[in-house]
Amino acid sequence: MTAIESLRARIERIEGGRRRAKSALSFGLEALDERLPDKGLARGVLHEIAGGGRTAGDGPAAALFAAGIAARTRGKVLWCLSRPDLFAPALAQVGLLPDRVIYVEARDEKTVLACMEEGLAHGGPAVVVGEAARLSMTASRRLNLAAEKTGAIALCLRRWSRPNDAAEFGRPTAAATRWRISALPAAPLPVPGVGRARWRVELIRSRGGETVNLELEACDASGRLAFPSDLSDRSAAPPVERPRRRASA
Amino acid sequence: MVAADGLARGQGLRVGMAAARATAAVAELDVEEHDPAADAEALERLALWVLERFSPIVAVDGTDGIVVDSKGADHLHGGEAAMLKSLVGRFAVAGISARAAVADTWGAAHALARHGAEPVFVAPPKHGAAILKPLPVEALRLSSETSEALRDLGFSTIGDLSNTPRAPLALRFGEALTRRIDQAVGRRSEPIEPLRPAESIVASRNFAEPIGAAETIARHLGKLVVTLCAELEEKGLGVRRLDLLCRRVDDRIEAVRVSTARPVRDVGRLTRLLCDRIETIAPGFGIEKMTLVATLAEPLAPTQKLASLTDEILPDVASLVDVIANRVGEERLYRLAPVESDVPERSVRRIPPLAPETGESWRRDWPRPARLLRRPEPIETLALLPDHPPASFTWRGVRRRVRAADGPERIFGEWWKRDEELSAVRDYFQVEAEDGERFWIFRSGDGEAMETGSQRWFLHGLFG
Residues B208-212, mean pLDDT to the nearest whole number: 89
Residue B328 φ then ψ, to 5°: -105, -10
The pLDDT of residue A18 is 54
**A220: closest CA among A193, A197, A201?**
A197
d(CA B168, CA B187): 19
The pTM (predicted TM-score) of the whole model is 0.76
Residues forming a β-bridge with B120 = B100
Question: What's the whole-number average pLDDT of chain B?
Answer: 84
- Residues whose CB is less than 8 angstroms from the CB of residue A105 and which lie 6 or more positions away in sequence, other chains included: A81, A82, A84, B328, B332, B333, B334
CB contact under 8 A, B364 and A221: yes
Residues of B in contact with A124 (CB under 8 A): 315-317, 319-320
| Better-predicted residue by pLDDT, B117 or A184 | A184
d(CA B405, CA B403): 7
Look at chain A and count its residues: 249
- Residue B138 DSSP symbol: G
Contact between B56 and B245 (Cβ < 8 Å):
yes
Contact between B232 and B299 (Cβ < 8 Å):
no
**A61: closest CA among A159, A171, A152, A166?**
A159
Q: Tell me whether residue A74 is in a domain.
A: yes
The pLDDT of residue B74 is 67
Residues B334-345, mean pLDDT to the nearest whole number: 90
- Residues whose CB is less than 8 angstroms from the CB of residue A230 and which lie 6 or more positions away in sequence, other chains included: A187
The pLDDT of residue A173 is 92
| Better-predicted residue by pLDDT, B302 or A58 | A58
Q: Where in chain B is the domain with CATH 3.30.1490.100?
A: 201-299
The pLDDT of residue B458 is 93
CB atoms within 10 A of CB B118: 6
CB contact under 8 A, A102 and B335: yes
Tell whether B376 is within 8 A of chain A (Cβ).
Answer: no
pLDDT in tens, B307-319: 555 555 667 888 8
Q: Which CATH superfamily is domain B201-299 in?
A: DNA polymerase, Y-family, little finger domain (3.30.1490.100)
**A228: closest CA among A180, A185, A190?**
A185
Q: Tell me whether residue A243 is in a domain.
A: no
- CA distances (Å), B63 to each of A135, B60, B67, B107, in order? 55, 8, 11, 15
Contact between B245 and B293 (Cβ < 8 Å):
yes
Respond yes or no on whether the N-terminal peptide bond of residue A98 is cis (omega within 30° of 0). Answer: no
The pLDDT of residue A248 is 43
**A128: closest CA among A146, A107, A109?**
A146
CB contact under 8 A, A88 and B336: yes
The pLDDT of residue A125 is 93
CB contact under 8 A, A91 and B338: no
CB contact under 8 A, A107 and B328: yes
d(CA B111, CA B93): 25
- Residue B136 DSSP symbol: B
What DSSP assignment string belongs to A38-78? TSSEETTSEEEEEE-GGGTTT-HHHHHHHHHHHHTS-S-EE
Is B345 in a helix, a strand, or coil?
helix
pLDDT in tens, B24-49: 877 777 888 888 888 888 888 888 88
Contact between B66 and B59 (Cβ < 8 Å):
yes
- B353-372 residues touching A, CB cutoff 8 A: 353, 357-362, 364-372
d(CA B306, CA B311): 8
- Per residue in B229-255, is it b (16+ CB within 10 Å) or e — as a string? beebeeeebbbbbbbbbbbbeeeebbb
The domain spanning residue A162 has which CATH number?
3.40.50.300
Contact between A29 and A41 (Cβ < 8 Å):
no
- Residues whose CB is less than 8 angstroms from the CB of residue B42 and which lie 6 or more positions away in sequence, other chains included: none
* Residues of chain A under the 70 pLDDT cut: 1, 15-22, 230-249
Choose, out of B76, B330, B332, the residue to mutate when testing the contact with A (most A CBs < 10 Å).
B332
Tell whether B381 is within 8 A of chain A (Cβ).
Answer: no
Total structural domains within chain A: 1
The pLDDT of residue A243 is 46
- Residues whose CB is less than 8 angstroms from the CB of residue B235 and which lie 6 or more positions away in sequence, other chains included: B201, B297
pLDDT in tens, B378-428: 999 987 777 788 999 999 888 999 999 987 888 888 888 777 777 888 999
CB atoms within 10 A of CB A234: 10
Residue B454 scores a pLDDT above 80: yes
pLDDT in tens, A180-215: 999 999 888 888 888 889 999 999 999 888 899 999
- CA distances (Å), A156 to each of A59, B33, B39, in order? 12, 67, 57
The pLDDT of residue A238 is 46
Q: Tell me whether residue A10 is in a domain.
A: no
The pLDDT of residue A48 is 94
Give chain B's radius of gyration (CA, Å). 30
CB contact under 8 A, B338 and A98: yes
pLDDT in tens, A163-180: 788 888 888 999 999 999
Residue-number span of the structural domain to which A181 is assigned: 42-217
Residue B15 scores a pLDDT above 60: yes
Contact between A116 and B320 (Cβ < 8 Å):
no
Residue B182 scores a pLDDT above 50: yes
- CA distances (Å), A128 to each of A46, A70, A159, B193, B318, in order? 10, 9, 16, 44, 15
CB atoms within 10 A of CB A15: 12
